[in-house]
Amino acid sequence: MEVKAKYVGNGRYVLIDLETGEVVDDAQGYGYKSATKAYAAWAYKQKPPAEKKRMKDEKRRAQEWWRRHRKLRDLVETEMMYAWKDGVTFGVRKLEQLFEEENIQTEFKTATLLKFFRYE
């Protein structure tokens, strides 16, 4: 099934089936705040249960890793604030550089750890 985001007013979007024109996802009647969010939700809903479980487990493990590395998390948070203040992006390369400086080895991809970084 091919879907397309359709603007329905009030800054909200729904997904419609291109063949039938039928609304297939409307965020439980609320609509999505952007077309991008609508497509992301649809992609997630189309994933098999095993893939959803894998993603959830990866998130949990990455967040646990950050809890075990509080000193590094605090350093990353500080670096992110400096980057924000300077108007630059704190991304994967900068995190890899910090890992190298601190001699940190991880079983995760740097992008995964950055994705699940949370301020605490």
Q: Which two tokens stand for residue 6?
A: 């359709």
> How much is the pLDDT for 120?
62
**H or E element in which residue 4 lies:** strand 3-9
Q: What is the pLDDT of residues 7-20, one digit of tens each?
A: 999 999 999 999 99
Share above pLDDT 70 across residues of the chain, in percent, rounded to a whole number: 98
Q: Is the pTM of this model over 0.85?
A: no
CB-hemisphere CA count at 13 Å for 22?
4
Q: What is the pLDDT of residues 40-75, one digit of tens each?
A: 999 999 999 999 999 999 999 999 999 999 999 999
> How much is the pLDDT for 118?
82
Hey, where are the domains in the chain? 3-46, 50-115
> How much is the pLDDT for 94?
93
